[in-house]
Amino acid sequence: MQRLRLAGSLVAFVLAGAAFSSELAVIVFNPRSFDKGRVPPDWRIKVNHGRADIDSCAAGGDSCVRFKSVASSFGIERGTEVNPNQTPFLTWRWKVTQLPQGGDFRHIATDDQAAQVLVLFSDHRVLSYIWDSTAPKGAADSNGSYFLVRVYTIVCESGPAQVGQWLAESRNVAADYRQAFGKQAPEIKGVRLQINSQHTGTSAESYFGEVAFRAQPL
């Protein structure tokens, strides 16, 4: 239910206006454009519960953005137009330094994650890539519908084994969409980066580097 509400608000945001790009590498999140927690004009902060704690940071000479959740749920989102047939590979860097204790996306009462990347398509379907506290890496599940929005969640990382380490991820969103919804992926309309720990009443912390859509995986 948490991701369905998030996806619903993301739909409303991206339908208000989106920026078009036909490049074969579309940078949708550039952390260098953030300054001490102030988001650039093409992004907005969306708070679902509690208070947002976002700040700019640096790691190994690269810029990043830090999210800190204390029994809260928030994210940053932007509208974009990306053709998944031209640039099907979603790539991003993230690091988790604190997992929400007891978080598990498979149960509504524990549906908290330290880090999520959500991709909205033009047909109001959403792919949600998460770092879960408990559910095993590779687990995937449909989370139903909410105001015509359908969400499919994929666990990219799980548990504490790699907490504190920067990890690079690469997902073929066109293939993931086809696996999740049984048809060819339509145009991508928006992206959200998210953290939440309100269901478990715990704390979580994560960091994000560049997020892009590419013609080839990194």
Q: What is the pLDDT along the chain (218 residues), one digit of tens a residue?
A: 666 666 666 655 444 444 444 458 999 999 999 887 688 889 999 999 999 999 999 988 889 999 999 999 999 999 999 999 999 999 999 999 999 999 999 999 999 999 999 999 999 999 999 999 999 999 999 876 566 789 999 999 999 999 999 999 999 999 999 999 999 999 999 999 999 999 999 999 999 999 999 999 88
51 forms beta bridges with none
The answer to whether the CB of 103 falls within 8 A of the CB of 110 is yes
DSSP 182-216: SS----EEEEEEEEE-TTTT-EEEEEEEEEEEESS
Residue closest to 177 by CA, chosen among 158, 151, 215: 151
Please state, in angstroms and as integers, the Cα–Cα distance from residue 20 to each residue in 40, 80, 115, 121, 175, following that order. Answer: 17, 6, 26, 14, 22
H/E element, 173: helix 173-181
**Ramachandran assignment for 44, one of left (phi > 0), alpha (psi -120 to 50 degrees), beta (any other):** beta
In the chain, how many H helices and how many E strands? 2, 14
* Per-residue pLDDT, 146: 61
| Whether pTM exceeds 0.75 | yes
Distance, CA of 204 to chain centre: 15
Contact 196, 96 (CB under 8 A): no
Identify the CATH number of the domain defined by range 2-214. Answer: 2.60.120
Q: What is the pLDDT of residue 83?
A: 96
User: Measuring CA to CA, which residue among 151, 152, 168 is closest to residue 209?
Assistant: 168
Q: Residue 158 CB: number of other CB atoms within 10 A?
A: 19
Domains of the chain, residue spans: 2-214
